[in-house]
Structure formats: structure tokens, C-alpha cells
Amino acid sequence: MSKLNVDQKTIFDLLSDKKADFLIPDYQRPYAWDEEQCQTLWDDIFLFSFPNNDYETFDENEEYFLGSIVTYKNEKGKSEVIDGQQRLTTLMLILRAFYDKFANMQDTNSKLTRSRIEHCIWKTDTFGTADKSKLKIDSEVATDNDKQEFLELLCTGEIKSGSKSQYVNNYQFFQRKIDDFLQEFASYFPYLPARILRNCILLPIEAESQDTALRIFSTLNDRGLPLSDADIFKAQFYKYYGGLDKKDEFIAEWKELEEITSSVFYPNTGTPMDELFTRYMYFLRAKEGNKSTTTESLRKFYERNKYQYFKQPNTISELKALALFWKSVSRQDKKRFSNDILKNLFVLKYAPNGMWQHITSVYFLQNRNNDGLLEETKFIQFLDKITAFIFAYAVTNPGVNALRTPVYDEMINVINGIDVTFSKYKFSESKARSFFENYAFTNQRDITRSMMTWYAYTFSKQQLLDSNEIFHLEHIYSKKRQEMEGGLAKIHLESLGNKVLLEGSINIKASDYRFEDKKKIYSGKQHHGKNKDASQISEIADIIRYTKFDQQQIVDRNKTILDKFFNFLHSENLIAIAD
């Protein structure tokens, strides 16, 4: 069981301790509090210290809890701050602003309070005298260009001309608040900083290791952003490039990666940078020949052998190439990809799971040329193959975990220069057809959208659709119409034959109408009001030629869709030869 040192302390007790030596580590995010958060903190402290604007009604035994500070002692004996960085930094700025204001005050209370602040900001010598060259807080945040300005501000109280750093902005904010306070409550000015030091409470939690501290932070913190795996990775890169005297180059590269990934990846968990490292991990696993279906956590994978992959000179360039590839995919970059490739990628965007992204990442990194491009014909063959297999497997072997074994095998084949075939996992046509014919293709299942997106592109006249457009699944025969009129079995209502990919805006208008009215909406000829744009889905032109659309049309269309898909499986050599 992990050991913790937990003991609530006043700000003065925590910061004036001779052993106090806080470090904001390199993997932390830059200081980010703005004026709104500073205003909230100031208001809270002021209302606590002077209830009803009256210093005499204050109960000296009252305490105000400001939150926790989670740290662990690193190998140099410094307390690395895992949680509470923003709060601790802001408190230091407040104390420094008060310290400067006391400079010319000679009354006893002011001098005593100023001395107490000294012991919180600076380390002291043997005789208790503040050494103003040694702060009790340091920052090594790799991507914080203003950290040195913060440290110099604490040391000297001086501000660089024209500085607009968040540290300076907040420091000047507190200076203004202190000036206002002094003007209105001059007679008891020293009481406010004294009560901040004596009655405002922090809960320092010292863990025995970084991992323990991070777990505590994740448990306690329900508002802030916990440190991501990528934040920890950044620290390791920073140390490596620091040893090569290339810290500045690394920081610039890392910022660019953050900008690219934040515009491309929107993961359900973790950060965009975590997503990039995840996709890169599958490439590295494949290079290792690792077929294990038990995938390590991101941090566990990269920390092996003392973060060996972060010490290789090509890692950052490969990460950047991968990020730019996926940026081109998300932007439907016609300079990089042909129209046929973009159509394939649009279909895969709606794949039933994300496994295609991992094997495609492996394929790209292994097969790109010096310009970061892929040979078109082979890439199309690869995309067709994984589309056919993954879509079929989602019905015959549901669950992303089931897909790991065949996909991990093929990832290694990609690394070894072997074409992706899924030859060991071909489908029995009769069994697979039975699965598809008896499968409930409800709109809530991802595979339903996958199949209808694929089917939309089987029409030769289908143009590339905009990936930013919102598409829905439309019941051609309305579910509500079925409830009102009956006459159609539920199995037909939810079959693929009754579904079509449709622009969200058109689907909303068409959802509950009779087929005759739907046809007008599909084609842009509104049955009420002005005409609108017709659907971009090519098959719609065929659908509106139907005189009616009920059970027989659904059955026939469903067979057409399945026939086309199984012909696709045959063309991709994914159907096993019968014994």
C-alpha cells in the first residue's frame, strides 16, 4: 500500500517551512489562470477575511480551505507539484504583490507581515535571513516560454517592459486589487495578508512516487485537466533533447504537434496527443513482431526500457509525419490523395470501430516515400481489403477485441512487406450470409451506418461527400408511419433495405412523411414552401423513381445491398472456398 503524508497546513506553515522546495516539473502544462479565476480567488479570500467588510467581526479561529497540493519528492529532494500548480503559483504572485506594497510601511504590523511573507517566498540562511537569490518555488515547464519571467518577478518584483505574460497580467491584477483595498481600508490593511497566511488552509499530500501522486490527482481532481500520458512523455523527450542541447528545437516541434493533433483528433478519452501516441504505438508493436491481443496501457508501453523509443532520433519526425497524414485525411486533401482514395477514407470514417485507423497508421509509416506519399494503386487495394474484412467481421464476430487477432497479424505482415490478405480468416459464405440476413441493423449500431455509407459509394455517380457534413440514417418507410398505419413487420423496418444515408438537415424534414412526400424532400422539391437543395446521395435518384416503397421494395433492396457486399467480399478474396 502506498504511503502518504497528509496534514493540512496554513499557507504560512507550508511555505515558511525550511524544507519547502517546490518544483513545477517539465511535463506540467504552462500557467493558465486568467483574470476571471484570479478575481474569484480574491473575492473568496476577501469575503472570508472581512465578513460584511468589517475586520473586527472576523473569528480568528475560522479557516478557509483553498484546496490540495499533491507532490512527491524527486531524486533531488524537491517536491514536484502534480496537482495545485495553478493555485500555488497564484498564491506566490499574491504574496509578492503584498510584499512590494509593504516596502515603505513602517508600522509594526506591516513590518511583521512583510517579514512573514519573506519566509514564504525565499529560502533562509542559518540565522533565518531571507536569501533573495533562492526561491522556494522553481519551474521547469518545457512548453512555458514565460517561466523565467515568473521566477525573476518573484525574485525582484520587476516587470520586463512590454511583457504580456499571464504571470505579469495576474501580478498586476493583484497589485490593482491591493491598491483599491488600501485606499478603502487603509487602517487595517495588514490584516488581509496576515489572515491569508494564518487562516487560509491548504492540504499538502505527499506521495512516495510520481505514479502514486498521479493516481491521487486523478481521484481528487474533478474540475481541472489531469496530466495526460503525453504530458509525461513530453518530459522524457525534454530530458533527452536537453542532453543534446536541442531543447528549443524540441519545444517548437512539440507545440506544432499539439496544434496539428488538436485540429484532427477528438478522442473520447485522453488528449489529442495521446491519440497520436496510440496510433504510433501500433506501428512500434508491429515492428517488434508483437501479436499479443493484450495491449498494454499507453504509458506502460512507452516506459519500457527507460523510454527507449523517445531516445531515438527518428521518433519525433515519425510522429509528425503521422500527424500530418491524419490531418490530410481529415481535411480531404485532394493534393495528397486521389478522389478514389478519399472516397475509401470517407467510408472508413464510419467504420464500426477504430481498428482501421491503427492498421492504416502502420501501413502509412511503413510504405510512405520520402515525400510522405503512398503509391495510389496499392493504397486503394489496402483500403478496400480492410474495409471489406472489418465490416464483415463486425457482423460475424462482433466486438473490437475479436478483431485484434486478425488485424495484429496483418500489421506485422505490413511491416514485413507482405500484402494484407486476411488469408487465415476468410469467411464461410453461407454462414456469413446467414449472419447478415438475421442481424438487427438498428440505427444505434455502428455497423449499420458503416454498411449504408459503403453502399452509397457503390453507385458510380456518387461524388465525394464533405466529411464535415452531418449525415444520418433515414428510414425510407417511416417508423412513425408504421406505428400509425401498421402493415410492415419490424424485421423489414430495421433491415438495410429500409435505410439510406442522408444529409441530417434533409432527414429531419423527411423523417415522418409518406413516401410520396419524402421523394419531394429528397429531391429538393419541398411539399411546403420553397425548394431546397437536393440530396447529394446518388442512390436517391433511383429511390425517387419508385412509385411506392413498402415491404416488397424493402426486401428487394435489402437483397441487392447484401448481394453487392458479398460480391465485394468475393472480389477481395475473403470468401473461403467450399470444402
pLDDT tens digits along 250-309:
988 999 999 999 999 999 888 999 999 999 999 999 999 998 888 888 989 998 998 999
Q: Are 284 and 309 in contact (CB under 8 A)?
A: yes
Cβ atoms within 10 Å, residue 183: 9
Q: Are 246 and 46 in contact (CB under 8 A)?
A: no
Kindly tell me if the per-residue pLDDT of 181 is higher than 50: yes
Distance between CA 313 and CA 331 in Å, rounded? 29
Mean pLDDT of the chain: 89
Confidence of residue 480 (pLDDT cuts 50, 70, 90): low
Kindly tell me if the per-residue pLDDT of 127 is higher than 90: no
Q: Are 503 and 449 in contact (CB under 8 A)?
A: no
**Tens digit of each residue's pLDDT (9 = 90 or more) over 210-266:** 777 766 665 555 444 566 889 888 878 888 888 899 888 998 899 999 999 999 999
91-105, 267-281, 440-454, 515-529: segment of lowest average pLDDT: 515-529
pTM for the whole thing? 0.74
What is the residue whose three cell numbers read 524527486? 74
Distance between CA 562 and CA 412 in Å, rounded? 31
Mean pLDDT of 107-118: 90
- Confidence at residue 219, expressed as pLDDT on a 0 to 100 scale: 58
Kindly tell me if the per-residue pLDDT of 128 is higher than 80: yes
- Confidence at residue 223, expressed as pLDDT on a 0 to 100 scale: 45
**Tens digit of each residue's pLDDT (9 = 90 or more) over 489-509:** 566 788 999 999 999 888 888
- Confidence at residue 335, expressed as pLDDT on a 0 to 100 scale: 95
Kindly tell me if the per-residue pLDDT of 207 is higher than 90: no
Give the list of residues 6+ apart from residue 398 with CB closer than 8 angstroms, or none: none
**Tens digit of each residue's pLDDT (9 = 90 or more) over 32-73:** 899 999 999 999 998 888 877 666 667 788 899 998 888 888
Burial class (CB in 10 A: 0-12, 13-18, 19+), 539: buried
- The rounded percent of the chain whose pLDDT value lies above 90 is 59
Tell me phi and psi for residue 24, to 5 degrees. Answer: -90, 110
- Confidence at residue 530, expressed as pLDDT on a 0 to 100 scale: 54
- Confidence at residue 236, expressed as pLDDT on a 0 to 100 scale: 84
End-to-end Cα, the chain, rounded Å? 58
- Confidence at residue 578, expressed as pLDDT on a 0 to 100 scale: 67
Helix (H, G, I), strand (E, B), or coil: what is residue 502? strand
- Confidence at residue 531, expressed as pLDDT on a 0 to 100 scale: 53
Distance between CA 276 and CA 249 in Å, rounded? 20
- Confidence at residue 93, expressed as pLDDT on a 0 to 100 scale: 96
Amino acid at 571: S
**Tens digit of each residue's pLDDT (9 = 90 or more) over 324-367:** 999 999 999 999 999 999 999 999 999 999 999 999 999 999 99
Distance between CA 278 and CA 282 in Å, rounded? 7
Cell of 464: 465525394
User: Do the strands 137-139 and 130-135 form a parallel or antiparallel pair, or are they unpaired?
Assistant: unpaired
Give the list of residues 6+ apart from residue 187 with CB closer than 8 angstroms, or none: none
172-176, 523-527, 529-533: segment of lowest average pLDDT: 529-533
Confidence of residue 5 (pLDDT cuts 50, 70, 90): low
**Tens digit of each residue's pLDDT (9 = 90 or more) over 385-424:** 999 999 999 999 987 789 999 999 999 999 999 999 999 9
Confidence of residue 562 (pLDDT cuts 50, 70, 90): very high
Kindly tell me if the per-residue pLDDT of 528 is higher than 90: no
